[in-house]
Amino acid sequence: MKILITGVAGFIGSRLAKHLLGKGFCVYGIDNYNNFYDPEIKNRRVQDLLNNKQFFFLKLDLVNCLNPLNKVDFDIVIHLAGSPGIRYSVDNPEIVYSNNVYATENLLRYMQDRGKTKIIFASSSSVYGSMNDTLLNEDITSLSPLSPYGVSKLLAEQLLHKFHKQFFFSIICLRLFSVYGPSQRPDLVIPKFVEAMVTEKPIYVYGDGNATRDFTYIDDVIHAFTLSVNLLLNKNDFFSIINIGRSEAVTIHFLIDRLFIKLKIIVPIIYQDPISIEALSTCANVEKSSSILGFKAKTTFDEGLNMYIKWFFNNK
Ligand SMILES: NC(=O)c1ccc[n+]([C@@H]2O[C@H](COP(=O)([O-])OP(=O)(O)OC[C@H]3O[C@@H](n4cnc5c(N)ncnc54)[C@H](O)[C@@H]3O)[C@@H](O)[C@H]2O)c1
């Protein structure tokens, strides 16, 4: 079975590729090595994957002509390439819309031309925006994303739905909730706090520290993608949007306390005004992921933090 992973050099893509190779899949990966963070980190991840003879890599930008992919055969696409980063999207909306929306349309059109119709898409909890509901539910229709990033992911979902309706694509959109773990992107809250603490610098908190995130450990997310692959390979003309989270709201204060205890370092906390583009709380309703995929996140927040910290010190 052959899988094409876009954004394979990224945090999630590289770990997913390694996992699927271990399961015996043949993996083709593409990435443009953009400079949202150090491309050398991406290069190292790809070099590691290239040790497996079943892995093939093509440096390619999804906004360009995709003909170089003609020599690649694949049964299913896992589409992870994109510009993440909520704050980044406010300063760079054109880059974010290009990589998240236009690139997705370009990929879908290319697939249609080649008669390929199965795709799993990495969407985001950012599509929900600020909701009154405690648990975010896939059936909510009045979505109002707060950032260009959230809007771009919602537009991409709508584009995918259009290809399902018009051209009978089979699609799963996974709305990922705050993925964290080894080799995580440096722009996210856990790497930033750990880096500040070990270098004994203050940490900056937007708001009063009571905002919550549904932190989801990377290997649980990888498991959700694997279950989605297995489901989609046996489905035709299928469309589903599914939350992938733990359904546990962790406050930023709790995160800081756990890190202070685990690292045995205490640094000053500097509180800043809350940022209007970030939701105050995110927590996934996971009934659908359980009923459709048979998925349940296994890693507790404490276990996940331990694994991140261990990786951090081994790779510092
Ligand atoms: N990490 C999270 O918490 C999280 C949460 C929700 C959704 N997501 C989504 O999951 C996906 C992967 O996230 P990640 O954390 O691994 O990010 P990442 O930045 O580490 O990986 C994304 C990869 O896509 C590549 N890329 C971007 N634009 C491209 C283009 N036009 N052509 C080819 N390659 C391109 C980048 O070079 C990068 O290697 C993203 O789409 C992101 O929006 C991530």
What's the pLDDT tens digit per position in 39-89?
A: 999 999 999 999 999 999 999 999 999 999 998 999 999 999 999 989 999
Is 149 a known active-site residue?
Answer: yes
- CATH fold, domain 2-177+216-245, is Rossmann fold (3.40.50)
| Helical spans, DSSP H, in the chain | 11-22, 39-49, 86-91, 93-97, 103-113, 148-167, 189-198, 218-233, 252-263, 287-288, 301-315
Ligand 1 atom closest to Cα of 79?
Answer: 41
pLDDT at 279 (0 to 100): 85
- Rounded to the nearest 5°, which phi and psi values hold at 54? -90, 5
Is the CB–ligand 1 distance for residue 17 below 6 Å? no
Residue 133 scores a pLDDT above 90: no
Question: How many CB atoms are located within 10 Å of the residue 213 CB?
Answer: 25
162: which residues sit within 8 A by CB, 6+ positions away? none
Q: Provide DSSP, 137-169.
A: -TT----B-SSHHHHHHHHHHHHHHHHHHHH--
Is the CB–ligand 1 distance for residue 256 below 6 Å? no
Give, using CA atoms, the residue closest to atom 35 of ligand 1: 81
Look at the block and give the residue holding tokens 């799993």.
120
Is the CB–ligand 1 distance for residue 89 below 6 Å? no
Annotated active-site residue in 149, 180, 217, 308 = 149
Distance separating alpha carbons of residues 3 and 79, to the nearest angstrom: 10
Q: How far is the CA of 29 from the centre of ligand 1 (A)?
A: 13
Strand partners, 192: none
173: which residues sit within 8 A by CB, 6+ positions away? 120, 121, 123, 157, 160, 240, 241, 242
Mutate which of 86, 87, 124 for ligand 1 pocket (most atoms within 8 A of beta carbon): 124
170: which residues sit within 8 A by CB, 6+ positions away? 117, 118, 119, 164, 232, 235, 236, 237, 238, 239
Distance separating alpha carbons of residues 10 and 81, to the nearest angstrom: 8
Report the range of poorest mean pLDDT among 223-227, 275-279, 304-308: 275-279
- In this prediction the pTM is 0.97
What's the pLDDT tens digit per position in 283-296?
A: 999 999 999 999 99
pLDDT, mean of residues 166-175: 98
Q: How far is the CA of 14 from the centre of ligand 1 (A)?
A: 10
Q: How far is the CA of 261 from the centre of ligand 1 (A)?
A: 31
CA 13, chain centre distance (Å): 8
Q: How far is the CA of 211 from the centre of ligand 1 (A)?
A: 24
Angle CA 271–148–65, to nearest 5: 135
What is the rounded (10 degree) CA torsion for 261, 135, 171, 86?
Answer: -60
Q: How far is the CA of 107 from the centre of ligand 1 (A)?
A: 15
Ligand 1 atom closest to Cα of 125?
Answer: 6
What's the pLDDT tens digit per position in 229-262?
A: 999 999 999 999 999 999 999 999 999 999 999 9
Distance separating alpha carbons of residues 220 and 179, to the nearest angstrom: 9
- List C-alpha distances in Å: 94 to 152, 179, 188: 10, 24, 21
Burial of 86 (0-12, 13-18, 19+ CB in 10 A): buried
